[in-house]
Structures are given as C-alpha cells and as structure tokens.
Amino acid sequence: MFTEESFENVVIEYLKELNYDYIHGSNLTRDNKEVLLLENLKTNLININKEIPESSIDYAIKKIQNFETNDVFTNNKLFHKYLTEGIEITDFINGKTAYHTIKLIDFDNIKNNEFLVVNQLEIVEDDINKIPDIIVYVNGIPLVCMELKSTSREEVSIEDEVIDTLGVDYKNLDTLLYGMFDKERFLDIIKNFILFIPKGKILAQYHQYYGMKKAINSVINAVDNDGRAGVVWHTQGSGKSFSMTFLAGNLIKNKRLESPTILVITDRNDLDDQLFSTFCSASEFLRQEPIKCDSRADVKEILEGRKTGGVVFSTIQKFEEETGLLSNRKNIIVMVDEAHRTQYNLDGKLDINTGEIKYGYAKYLREALPNATYIAFTGTPIDNTDKSTYGVFGDLIDVYDMTQAVEDGATVKIYYESRLAKVKLDQSTMNLIDKEYFNMQVKEDVESYTVEQSQKQMSRMEKIICDEDRIRQVVKDIISHYEERKTQVAGKAMIVAYSRTSAYLMYQEIIKQRPDYKNKVKMVMTTNNGDDKDMAKLIGTKKDQKKMEEEFRDLDSEFKIVIVVDMWLTGFDVPALDTMYIDKPMKAHNLMQAIARVNRVFPGKSGGLVVDYIGLKRELFDALKTYSTRDQDKIQENEEAKRIALDILEILRNEFHSFDYEGFFGDSDKVRYELIRDGAEFVQFMEHRKNLFMEQTKKLKDVYKICTSLLSKREKEEVSFFMAIRSFIMKTTKKGITDLKEINERISKMLEDAILDDEVLVLTKAGSSETFDLLNQENMLKIKLMPQKNIAANILMRAMKDKVEQIKKKNIIVSRAFSEKLQQIIDRYNNRQDEKDVYEVLEALVKFKEELFKAIESGDAMDLTYEEKAFFDVLTADTEVLSMMDDDILIKIAKDLTKTVKENMCPAWHERKQAQAKMRMQIKKLLKKYDYPPNKSEKALEDVMEQVTLQCVAGL
C-alpha cells in the first residue's frame, strides 16, 4: 500500500540522490517554537563570513528572527533581500563603528553551504501543533515547505490522491525535484529568478528560467561578436513580459557587461505601456526605475553621452529618421518586442520605378547605436519562409510554443467555431473575400503598389461587411450565441469588428435588439476627428478608455461585451475573457496575437472560444503550421548562406561582363532607374540567359535574407541591382499570368475548401494529420483526376513526405522502409521524360499510400496499440528473429516494453545521461528476461532507445 509515509520517503530519496543531507525532525535538538535551526545557522554563517566578528553574526540572526511588521508579504520581501544581498550590520567593536554585510548564502561557492532535508518537524504556533511533511533547509534557514497530501478533498485517501496526481512513473515529481532542486540551480532561482511586484511574488516558470539562461549567454557572446544575440519565441500568455524582466535584471547584474544600458523597443504604444508597467512594478529587481521616452528628443537626451546604466523604453518609430550617433558603447543591450516588419530593411529598398533607395527604422537605430547588442522577443513564430528576422537578430534562442503552454497549464486551449452558415453569407461573397485577401499579406519586401491595390480592395470589402442585412444577422447570432453559452466564467466577450464604421453599426444594432444591454456593451477604439457626435461620445477620451480597461477587468462590473477594431488585440490581458467573436479578416501574426486574448488561465475556465463570422479557417490553419510546431526547422547557417550568395553573385557578374552597371553604385536615382531598365532588356536578349538569370536570382532571394548582415555594402547593393532587374522583368512579362506557386496554392485551397466544414476544433491540434489530412480516399481521388498531373504529383509527394516524417516519431522501422520507397518514386519523377512517366508516378503514389496505411494499421490485427506495434517492429526488424522466437512472445515483449518505457520516461529524458542509463538498463533486463537472442539484442536495444528518444522529443 502506498501511504503518505511512502510518499515522503520517495521525495527524501530524490533529494538524497542530489546530495542533500537528511535528518528526521524528531532527531533535532531544538525549541519547537523556532523554525530556524539556530545551531546550524550560526555555524554556517561563521563559515561563510570568516572575517566578520561573531557579535555581528549574532545580530544578523536576530534580524531574521524578528521582523518589524506583521505583514507576511512585506516580511517575505525583506527576507528575500536579506537572502540574496546579505544583511547590512552596524556594530561597535573596540569603541569604533564597523559596517559589515552578512551573507546568508554563499552563491559563489555552492559547496560552502549546507543543504538539509527534514521531515515530520513539529512546530508550535499559538499553542497549535503543526507538522509539515518536508522542509528543505539551506544553512539552517527553511526555504521550501512541502505538504504531500491533498488539501482539497479530505474524503480522498492519500494513495488514491498520489496515484491520480503522479501516476505510476512519478513524472511530475521527477521533473520538479531533479529540475528545481539541483543545488546550483536551486540557488540560482532564489537569487536571480524571483521578483516582487505590488500584486505578489513572481517565481520564474521553467520555460522562463531555461529560456532566459540561454538568452543571457547569447547576449554575452554577442557583445564580443556581431551584436546579434538571437530570437526568443515564447507564445502569448506564457509570461513573456516577465521573461524580459528576468533577462534585463540578470544582464544588469552581470559583471562582464559593466553596468549595461537596457533599451526596450516596441512598435506600438499599447505594447510599450503594458511592458513598461511590468518593468516599473519590478524596479527593485532591476535596481532602478525604468525611463520612458515620449519623444525623439527624449531618446537623444537620455542615450546621448550616457556612460552606464538605465532601463529605457522607446517605440521604433522614434528612429524613423537619422538621430546621429547616440553612443558607441558595447554594453548597450537592445531588447525588441514584437517588432517584426519594422525591424527590417537595414540595407535599403530600391524603388524600381524611380531608382530611389529607402531605408527602414532599424538602419537608423543601428547607426545611432552601432556597437549595441540586439535580442528579439516574439509571442508568435517567425514564418519559416521569412528568414529576415534571423538575419537581423541572429538564430533562434528558445521556443515555448502554444502546444507546450497548453500542456503545462500556462495557457488554456483555444477552440474555434465557424458561424458562417448562421449568417447566410453567400458563397460568392466568401469567394470574393478569399480572392481579395489572398495577396494582401504585407511583408517587408512587398512593393508599395501592391499595398495600395489592397487598400482599394479593402474599401470595396467594407460595403460587403457593413451591409445592413448582414450586420443585423451577425448581431442577432452573436446575441443568441452569447446568451446560450453555458461555459462562460464571467460573461466577458470581445467582438472584433472590420472597421470603425462596422463597429459602430454593430453597437447600434445590439442596443436596438437588446435595449437592456446599454451598460453591458461598449466600444473601444482610438478617437477620430471625423466621427459624428454620438459616436465620439461613445468612444470617449483617452482617460475614458483607461477607465474602461479597469471596468472590463472588474469581474463584477456591468461591462461584459467590448467591440474593438485594433485596440486591445495586443498587449491587453483580461484572464476571465473567454469568448471572441471575429468579423474581421486577419492573417498570420495579427490573427494569432488577437485570438491569444482568450487563452489566459483563469479559475474555472476550461478554454477560450473563437467564433468566426468572416471565414478565417484557412488563415488559422496556415498560421498554425508554424504556431504550434513542436520540432522547429533548423535555420540554414549564416556562413553557408553567405557562401552560396557570393557564388551566385559571381555567376551573375560573369553573365553581365559585357554590361557596365558601375553607375548603379552612384548617387543618381535616374541613372539607377535607367540601368535597371536596360539590364532587364540585356537579360531578355537571349532565352537561355534569361532562364539562367531568373533561376539564379530566385536562389539569391532565398539566401540573401539569412546572410545580409555578413555581406559588404558593395555586395548588398549589387544584390539589390540584380533583384531590381528580376522585379522589372516579372512586372513586364508576368502580368495576369500565375506562376507555379500560385497555381499550387489555388489547388491546395480548393482541396481544403472541399474538406473543411463548420465545426468546433481544438486549435492546438488544428492543421495536424489527425485533423486535416490530404491523404483520405476522397481527396486522393480528386488529386488523381486533376488535369494538372505535375501539380498533382507534387501535392501528393509533399503530403507523403509529411506523413512519413510524422510516422518517424512513432515508428522508425516503418518510416525507414517507406522513406526508401518514397525516394525511389521521387527519383522516378525527377527523371521523367513525358506525361506517361508522370501518370505512372501518380499511380505509384496511390499504391504507396495504400501500403503505408496498411503498415500503420497492421498492429490492430495483433491487438497492439500504435506504440506497442512500433516496438514490435523494432524487435522484428531483423527477420532472423521471427524464425527464432514465437510471435506471442514478441508481442508480449512489445507490450512490456511500452509499459517499461512509460514508467521510466520523464520530461527531457533524452537529455539526461542518468535517466538514459536507467532506461537502457531496464530495457536490457526485459530483453534478457524473455531470452531475446543475445546476438540481436544490442541492435534491438539501440533501435528501441532511438524510438523512445524520438517519442520523447515529439512529446508523445
């Protein structure tokens, strides 16, 4: 029977394994009203503070025995300061005043401290006996108190509660104790990853601790190199603001940085306000009050000539023009939050219509602070097709994605519900929306004419969105949905309107349909001089909007439903908000930032719901391909990208050896324009030259974003020249003609439209093979019947590759076999001669799919789960084993292997040598138990270990 005492013993054994000393509480000689182990404390303090008189140490002990206030929070805050910074003592020795700092913990020499675990320690307070299960002492000071039984359900026996919480493999306990109580890490957390704010005490979560430790090292390394520290992706709602605060505080304390200046850059004032507020609340941790720049003059005044220190906030827009050199110091750290597009365009963008070179904000920022180090934070992933962010900031430092945040309970699941059918939006309108927005994703390198075209389309869209009948239908359905929704925790909901006009129309319609909602519904948006009197009154002043923020956060206020357009979609957190009604087209980062408003954790909140009235499903799936990716693609190394770029430049120079383009590097916009035009004519003079040029410049475009920071000014300008010619040719020859990429996207869209119906989805799973799979029978038939056989083959090959890669995480044997088969089919396609070859490849792919799915499902016949079948395949990968052992025995081994692996696996198992060794030993014992052939067991063992590692990394 697993009793409470058994549980205590398990915890004690873990800590003893980490070299903590142990003693039972009954064996301590002490006053049972005293929680400090006074003898241990004094002995350790004398040892740590060797040069300090005993009288001063006695005085320090009295200070931590007796606090001046009865407020627990105030005392805790002061005690933590004593713990991390020491106790300042004024003593009188031989008639003279002496000043000493008594260290309670030696953070520089871990071995100089005493770590002790005590159980069943009796403590008497106000004549009441209390016996905590376990207390962890450092130098005689109690720092951790563990209560191991349930405090929520008195009727549940301890062994029921323990088994429910921990499971048979103690994964949670293993993670907590090995992860947090490693001596060095434990003291590091205490000293560097706890901060106090007015609302409470903040302890770093594990992703904040590990992520910021990596970030600290990246920043320090970058200071002595190229100044690019990298990118941190921690999903929205996971405490990114506190992560940045922890990083800033640790950098400020780092001696190697010599009192750095921290410059925090945002690209919007609302983000600036939210982040600035967080930093201000932690000013003691930062050892200074943060400063906010309200103007460009402020930036210049604060940074220019400053020698050390300072936590300074600014928006990137304050660097929209040259400020001149502000500082050439190396110990300036620029932390950029959610800046994305505004942080690009360091090297200038050439307008091919005028020859003018225009630069982005980031260039002027870097010219003002040329030796600073830059680190970027994002709550949304960087698109795998857009490597510019890595080129500007450096490699990915740490990832904490939406899937992991939900699993950890740091955020809640987001559910999606389509209500298009409810408002009877006809298909022709939906087609128009898709068509209009397909090309409106504005990235750093999109030409201005495309943006202008999109804006014109937007004006036509508003007529559709704001149609009187449509607004009435949407509002009617929103009210119906809101009033019928039973799982709301506080009734807080947000409506995202298409525009200011549509927001106002929706507000008026809501009040018309529900007059009693007058105090329940409000609009939040920026003021505008063009608003009519009634609308302006509803919007109010900035002061009114601030008041509305507080009111909406108040669970007891009448204000339950807010209508927004752009405001409150970023940098505004209301944990109780659990429903978002969207009637505005959004994509990628903007979409994911918006829906993250409903993913905050709140008591009683099981998830957030996004209700779609505009047709966002495809955009959600596209965004989620990167947003919840568990295994991030590796970014191509910068140096390798530079080598490729220079090789391509050499090829292009050779082609242009008879064309003099030296004038392009001068100051004349007119000359640049003429050289671009004449260069395009030169390229198209011969077809083979044009084909080679278009092929090489496409490759150059792909690698340039990665290595831009490593190229010389002349090389960058030369790239700009060739890319401008490419754009000129595309504009003059491709008008109205769709290229292969566009055709593929259109076909994929058609397929998705055929599959995706109105339904509720869990967004952390959306886009995965389980939810959306091109390889079902119906879609296979559609693809096979497509007249565009090459496109069909490419769609299928991509889908097959994805499927085989997914299988690898679950069954390496099946994956290996089918990877080879698929490669043979791909090779056949690459060597095609005519349409007949393509048709045969299509047939082979269809057959391949059938064989693959048969292999995946073959475990059912043997009564094996997917995981058990993976281990069965590993054991029988060598066909000789099948002739040496009965299937029944092999099946039993596979089942026992699955159980053994689960019992011995813990988070990050594959990164810990001790855990790996334990796993390896258990698998060996199991194989030996069933007399698995000794000459085959070593290979089987290695394959099992590889399979388990893949499953662990994939989070299976």
pLDDT in tens, 2-54: 456 777 888 888 899 899 999 998 898 888 888 999 999 999 999 999 989 88
| pLDDT the model gives residue 866 | 67
Please give the distance of CA 288 from its chain centroid, rounded to a whole number: 29
Q: Which amino acid is at 88?
A: E
pLDDT value at residue 596: 82
pLDDT surpasses 70 at 61:
yes
Measured in degrees and rounded to the nearest 5, phi and psi for residue 451 equal: -65, -45
Q: How many CB atoms lie within 10 A of CB 744?
A: 17
pLDDT at 341 over 70: no
Distance, in Å, from the CA atom of 719 to the CA atom of 348, rounded to the nearest integer, reads 11
- pLDDT-derived band of residue 697, with 50, 70 and 90 as boundaries? confident
Question: Which tens digits make up the pLDDT trace of 482-531?
Answer: 888 766 788 899 999 988 889 999 999 999 999 999 999 999 988 877 78
Please give the residue that has the higher pLDDT: either 426 or 243: 243
Once rounded to an integer, what is the mean pLDDT over residues 211-227? Answer: 92
State the Cα angle at 598 between 206 and 438, rounded to 5°: 105
Per-residue pLDDT of 526-547, as tens digits, reads: 887 778 888 888 888 888 888 9
Residue where the block lists tokens 């789960």: 865
pLDDT (0 to 100) of residue 251: 94
Helices (H), 615-712: 617-627, 638-655, 669-683, 687-707
Look at residue 252 and tell me whether its pLDDT is greater than 60.
Answer: yes
Dihedral in degrees, nearest 10, Cα atoms 478, 480, 485, 488 = 50
pLDDT at residue 626 greater than cutoff 50? yes
Strands 349-350 and 357-358: antiparallel
3-state secondary structure of 729: helix
CA pair distance 659, 670, nearest whole angstrom = 18
| pLDDT tens digit sequence for 295-325 | 777 777 787 767 788 898 887 766 665 667 7
pLDDT digits (tens, 9 = 90+) for 90-117: 877 777 888 889 999 999 999 999 999 9
Is the pLDDT reported for residue 910 higher than 90?
no
pLDDT of residue 38: 93
Q: Where are the beta strands (DSSP E) in 134-239?
A: 134-138, 141-146, 194-197, 200-203, 228-234
Mean pLDDT of the 551-555 span: 91
- Residues 729, 732: Cα–Cα separation, whole Å: 5
pLDDT of residue 812: 72
Using alpha carbons only, what angle is made at residue 42 by residues 36 and 44, rounded to the nearest 5 degrees?
Answer: 100
> What are residue 396's DSSP bridge partners?
231
Give the pLDDT of residue 360.
55
Alpha-carbon distance 674 to 354, whole Å?
9
What is the overall mean pLDDT for the chain?
77
% of the chain surpassing 90 pLDDT: 20
Closest by Cα among 493, 490, 486 to 522:
493
Q: Measured between alpha carbons, how far is 818 from 826 in angstroms, rounded to an integer?
A: 12
Tell me the pTM.
0.60
User: pLDDT tens-digit profile of 259-273?
Assistant: 899 999 887 655 557
Nearest to 243 by CA among 273, 272, 213, 280: 213
Helix orientation angle between 887-904 and 934-953, rounded to the nearest 10 degrees: 40
The confidence score (pLDDT) of residue 756 equals 33
% of the chain exceeding 70 in pLDDT: 74
Q: Which of 887, 953, 897 is nearest to 924 (CA)?
A: 897
Q: What angle do CA 847, 851, 852 make, to 5 degrees?
A: 115
Task: Name the more confident of 614 and 460.
Answer: 614
